[in-house]
Amino acid sequence: MELRERRFLITGGFSLIGSHIAEKLIEAGAAEVVLLDNASIGSPVTVEHLTSSGRVRLVRGDVLRMHEVMEALDGVDGVFHTAAFLTLPISQNPWVGLDVNVRGLMTVLEACRWRGVSKLVYSSSVAVYGNALYGIVTEETPFLGVGVQPVAALYATSKLMGEQLCALYRERHAVDSIVLRYSTVYGERQHSRGVNVLHILEAYDRIRLGQRPIIVGDGREVHDYVYAGDVARANLLAMRSDLSGESFTIATGVATSLNELVRLLLRLTGSGLTPEYRSDPGRVRSAGSTEMRFSREKAAVRLGWAPEVSLEDGLGRLIAWRESTTAGATPPVTPQGGS
């Protein structure tokens, strides 16, 4: 689908990923970008800077309310579905979280069916692989639930259900869709709901206060950190493509340990502090290990996508954003949908 002069809806539009997608759509010449969000955990402040374009419209609405989604979809050509509860908020409110992740997507898909929307890009997660993190993980790797905390498994299976709902609506109602499975997403306008992103936020905030950053465990646990702007580019490439019914892992393919992450933050901030190691057996965590190798070959070959922003550069942008907030105070962190 051509993006120029088309109209798009982003659910969870006040989010980290949603705001970056909106920026890219405006740059690509979209006629209008509608940001649908109920503002219960996100804030319109996140996307204030986009409204000056005259092509971004903020709509207070809930993905669980069909009439609000139907109204927001009037005249829309494509949808980016980023609205979701991540692992931490699901642990706090599983009833609502699962409702949003599953029934919310069903509402959007049904509304797309009736409005004749051409295509939906669904924000999924590498959580759908569970603990299958040894060896090279591809889109064909099945979910392995052994050793996954119950709340992390609930999040993962809600995303698996979402992927199958997309497949069902494509099969039965010809609603085209592409699934993007993100690794740990970070960047400007960072939220605090991502379990693995908390390592970045908590360490940075302590460093800025002159306190030793805390590493839980021995620091050998690894994650794949992908910059939000790169994730947004993947979304636009997916919408532009003629593909449908495909899933893609959107990750860097680079595993970074918590030790390496904290060392990088200390260097970027010019701090001479050393990390403090602690145990926290009660901490909510997603699947994690000392090895992680996501293949991004399919995304490269079929979508033409590859990450462009290194972790060092991306963290520098995140730090600059945090430091640019009012009076240098710690900014309010906006929760969001996505992964």
pLDDT, mean of residues 219-243: 96
Q: Is 169 among the residues known to form the active site?
A: no
pLDDT at 98: 97
| Confidence bin at 328 (pLDDT 50/70/90) | very low
Tokens, residue 114: 């009736």
pLDDT of residue 111: 98
User: Is pLDDT above 90 for 284?
Assistant: no
Distance of CA 55 to CAs 5, 31, 95, 235, Å? 10, 6, 36, 19
Q: Which helix (H) or strand (E) holds 72?
A: helix 66-72
Q: How far is CA 9 from CA 67, 96, 113, 128, 253, in A?
A: 15, 23, 14, 25, 30
Q: How many CA atoms lie within 13 A of 300 on its CB side?
A: 11
Given a cut of 90, whether residue 282 has pLDDT beyond it is no
- Region of poorest pLDDT, from 13-17, 37-41, 82-86, 113-117: 37-41
Question: For the segment 295-321, what is each residue's pLDDT rounded down to a tens digit?
Answer: 999 999 999 999 999 999 999 999 999
Which one from 155, 182, 225, 227 is the annotated catalytic residue?
A: 155
Question: Rounded to an integer, what distance in angstroms lies between the CA atom of residue 154 and that of residue 284?
Answer: 13
Q: How many distinct structural domains can be found in the chain?
A: 1
pTM: 0.93
pLDDT score at 216: 87
What is the CATH classification number for the domain harbouring 267? 3.40.50.720
Domain span holding position 298: 1-339
